[in-house]
A and B are shown apart, each in its own frame.
Chain A
Amino acid sequence: TETFVGHQVLRVVPKSDEDLQKVQELQALEHLQLDFWLAPRGLGVPVDIRVPFPSVQPVKAHLEAAGVSYSIMIEDLQALVDEEQMEMLRSSRQL
């Protein structure tokens, strides 16, 4: 089973064409194994990116070097997946 330990989901809201371009550059970097939950759509519209653990630092460095602000939408993805599994288990036990 695929685990997501250390994976984070970053949210970028591009404010300029330069921001948008920097985010689109990330789409082309296949070795980073990024999973765009919300793909770039335009200025002011959130872009959500699941970043595997090994790529977290390089991606943050790429954005910070370009002055592109981002927030961490999900700090620990695996914890959220585990929580969802626990909830399903509780529910089926109740059943």
Chain B
Amino acid sequence: PLDTNTFNYASYHSLDEIYTFMDLLVAENPNLVSKLEIGRSTENRPLYVLKFSTGGTNRPAIWIDTGIHSREWVTQASGVWFAKKIVQDHANNEGVASILETMDIFLEIVTNPDGFAFTHTKNRLWRKTRSKHSGSICVGVDPNRNWDAGFGEAGASANPCTETYHGPYPNSEPEVKSIVDFVKSHGNIKAFISIHSYSQLLLYPYGYKTAPAPDQQELHELSAKAVAALSSLYGTKYTYGSIITTIYRASGGTIDWTYDQGIKYSFTFELRDTGRYGFLLPAKQIIPTAEETWLGLKVIMEHARDNMY
């Protein structure tokens, strides 16, 4: 029978295979891993979050999500690898094991399941959700423009047929609203990391305004350390900085909202490609991408643990 040791982390998987992986991981590690359903997508698919906890109640926590843009397949694949890595570290009492002594980790691997299923069946390059709002002749909203942070301002599109359509109103997308509700109800998340691809960037707020984040200096220094750790493995070059100074103005973004909620350590990763394949990164690059990203994530998680606020 399949188990998470025979699971092929060096291949892309369908939604059902990833759901199966999650159930296997929970079954194999009942004292560490549990699966929460934080909501349902537009097409009524469950929005699953894996919780890694060694006990306590409402401990300070770290949130990691992958796949909010469905075509960015290396991110969901990396999320699967991260899940297994957390379990292995805990079993070997190394890496993030020390973080799990005092913090919980929440990992949402398929943050946009409708879009992800659509990339496997109808359109490999679908990015958005699959919602249909009255008055829109096109399907889908960009789930990274739908948050209540500068929503609808410059840096997103009001045209439902574009890739960066912000949606009819903030949190119109259940995939977004579910995370908003979870973050608000948990109330003790200290680091929030949303993972995208591609272009090798580590970004922190803001995207919707030019004003620097109050913690900009600390976030910049922490980014430098995280990028140094990431690059140390395979030499993958990353750039880092605030969203608006590093790429462009983007409104309604995830980490601008989480930062404005008081989650100081809010970051977005843009994983590989180094400039040959784009979203179609070959599967043989999944594991090296996940491994190097993990080193950067660990720096951020350890900093959050050591600098509780």
Contacts and interface: CB of A to CB of B under 8 A. Distances in A.
Contact of B123 (A1, A46, A84): A1
Contacts of B161: 30
A66 interface: no
B125 interface: yes
A50 B125 contact: yes
A74 B198 CA distance: 15
A39 B248 contact: yes
Contacts of B139: none
Contacts of A35: 125, 163
Interface stretch (B60-68, B141-149, B271-279): B271-279
B280 A81 contact: yes
3 closest Cβ contacts across the A-B interface?
Answer: A91-B11, A2-B123, A80-B280
Interface in A1-45: 1-2, 4, 9, 11, 30, 35-41
B8 A95 contact: yes
A73 interface: yes
Interface of A: 1-2, 4, 9, 11, 30, 35-41, 46, 48, 50, 73-74, 77, 80-81, 84, 87-88, 91-92, 94-95
Contacts of A94: 8
Contact of A41 (B17, B248, B283): B248
B2 A95 contact: yes
7 contacts: A35-B163, A37-B278, A74-B278, A84-B283, A87-B11, A92-B17, A95-B8
Interface in B37-82: none
A73 B278 contact: yes
A77 B247 CA distance: 26
Interface SS of A by simple majority: mixed
Interface residues of B, number: 29
Interface of B: 2, 6, 8, 10-14, 17, 121-125, 161, 163, 198-199, 246-248, 275-280, 282-283
B283 to A, nearest CB: 5
Contact of A73 (B246, B275, B282): B275
Given A38-B199, A87-B12, A87-B283, A74 B125 contact: no
A74 B281 CA distance: 12
Given A35-B163, A36-B163, A95-B2, A1 B278 contact: no
A9 B11 contact: no
A68 to B, nearest CB: 18
A84 B283 CA distance: 8
Contact of A81 (B121, B124, B246, B248): B124
Nearest to B10: A91
Specify which of A35, A50, A84 lies most central, judged by the most chain B CB atoms within 10 Å of its CB.
A84
Nearest to B283: A87
A92 B283 CA distance: 13
Contacts of B6: 95
A2 B8 contact: no
Contacts of A84: 12, 124, 280, 282-283
A49 to B, nearest CB: 10
A39 B127 CA distance: 14
A9 B279 CA distance: 11
Contacts of B280: 74, 77, 80-81, 84
A26 B273 CA distance: 23
A15 to B, nearest CB: 17
